[in-house]
Copies of this chain bind each other. A is one copy, B any other.
């Protein structure tokens, strides 16, 4: 499963990038090193990784332990048994609900040596880094380096802060862009359907005096000239659920935009040019696939906005955990060093492109179901025109009577997310394409059967 660390590849590491690898200079040149206090941790981790789960699951260090033996295999959906070797055909539902980016798991299993990190018991116990902040300066530099390498965002001269996933940064940004005084009316927060539900639900949940959710952006298109009210527009590019490279709709002196660029990576879209907006949000979830790590970052032009977002993070959580920042550093370091910083993007694009093509081939046979169209586009990262590879299929039930498309699919054992969750028509359903390969294969199998049963499907 894991690529062994050879002295040749080690030499390449040193030339390429130099945070962890600089340590090579004080490591013995030959293979004579023997672990001391790190031995137990290393041995435990390798033992867990070696537990066989049939390629349909994996065991974790903190997994449940039964009968005082080793951690159990945690199986992919529709697989069971002690080793995940049994396909549970009868109860199997295609789970395409969440945006869990497990499609990148095999990548990290293949690059085990460069991505593992050993956290000592005394690693960064303090609240603060040496500079007094809650933000690792070295990680921040790596993030800037990665954006420059990919060419998806301008970060020179911009401020960067971290949050507990980009989800926390949504509200931090809303807070920071809202009026700071009670003399102004609350900001109106808007988004354009179909949109990611937390823009609305989170804004309503925190129920602050300073801002209110005010519905769809289109309601305010010619109506922002009332200078007393601040408008905050969420713009998602590529959009979740439909993958479109959206732009802000509202304009004016009292309009502010939050650009959610979670999916603006070569995995999911062509990169036409570096994004350069006032407030841009990114997350490690959709870059390396580490949704569980809860690390997002904001790239911010204005210092006052930066200070208010920073205060939000400080007051609410006192920064992102130090072990998370260490692990993220290790992961980004690995991204930058493997294949000269191209390997993960090639893997991710290839995987997503393949899934999209197969899904499209199947749905092209249907008259009942359609999926969004995305044109091929020149990608500045790959330096070529490339076909689409979106994170989600935004499926439409074309028949007028299928107004609850979610239930139509559910009846065929396909679990998606209803259009209304995205404030859109329930003729639509979002299907996640970024989960495990097992999840995708099951999804495609169920869709293929559904299309085959369709009267009038082209191959019937």
Residue of B19, B33, B41, B290 touching A116 (CB-CB under 8 A): B41
A452 to chain B: which residues have CB within 8 Å? none
* Cβ-defined contact, A62 with B326, below 8 A: yes
Cα distance, A128 to B60, chains bound together (Å): 13
Name the distance in Å between A262's Cβ and chain B's nearest Cβ.
Answer: 13
Question: Which residues of A in the span 1-57 have a Cβ within 8 Å of any Cβ on B?
Answer: 1-5, 10, 18-20, 22-23, 25-27, 33, 35-51
Q: C-beta contact mask, A274-303 vs B, less than 8 Å → 1, else 0?
A: 000000000001000111111100000000
* Cβ-defined contact, A25 with B62, below 8 A: no
Comparing A117-125, A229-237, A351-359, the segment that makes contact with chain B is: A117-125
Closest B residue to A138 by CB, please name it: B62
Question: Is A69 close to B, CB under 8 A?
Answer: yes
* Cβ-defined contact, B39 with A113, below 8 A: yes
Closest B residue to A210 by CB, please name it: B207
Q: C-beta contact mask, A190-209 vs B, less than 8 Å → 1, else 0?
A: 00000000100110011111
* Cβ-defined contact, A207 with B208, below 8 A: yes
A100 to chain B: which residues have CB within 8 Å? 125-128
A460 to chain B: which residues have CB within 8 Å? none
Question: Is A451 close to B, CB under 8 A?
Answer: no
Interface residues on A, range: 35 or more
Cα distance, A22 to B315, chains bound together (Å): 40
* Cβ-defined contact, B289 with A318, below 8 A: no
Residue of B33, B98, B167, B315 touching A198 (CB-CB under 8 A): B315
* Cβ-defined contact, A127 with B291, below 8 A: yes
* Cβ-defined contact, B205 with A206, below 8 A: no
Question: Which residues of A in the span 164-182 have a Cβ within 8 Å of any Cβ on B?
Answer: 164-165, 167-168, 171
* Cβ-defined contact, B291 with A126, below 8 A: yes
Residue of B2, B48, B50, B316 touching A168 (CB-CB under 8 A): B316
* Cβ-defined contact, B109 with A125, below 8 A: no
Name the distance in Å between A380's Cβ and chain B's nearest Cβ.
Answer: 28
List residues of chain A with CB under 8 Å of any chain B CB. Answer: 1-5, 10, 18-20, 22-23, 25-27, 33, 35-51, 58, 60-65, 68-71, 74, 98, 100-102, 104-105, 108-109, 111-128, 130, 136-139, 164-165, 167-168, 171, 198, 201-202, 205-210, 285, 289-295, 311-312, 315-327, 329-331, 334
Name 26 A/B residue pairs within 8 A (Cβ), A-sorted: A2-B36, A10-B40, A22-B68, A25-B69, A25-B70, A26-B51, A27-B43, A35-B43, A38-B113, A39-B113, A40-B113, A42-B118, A45-B120, A58-B122, A61-B123, A62-B136, A108-B125, A115-B121, A116-B118, A116-B119, A117-B119, A121-B331, A206-B315, A293-B322, A317-B317, A323-B324
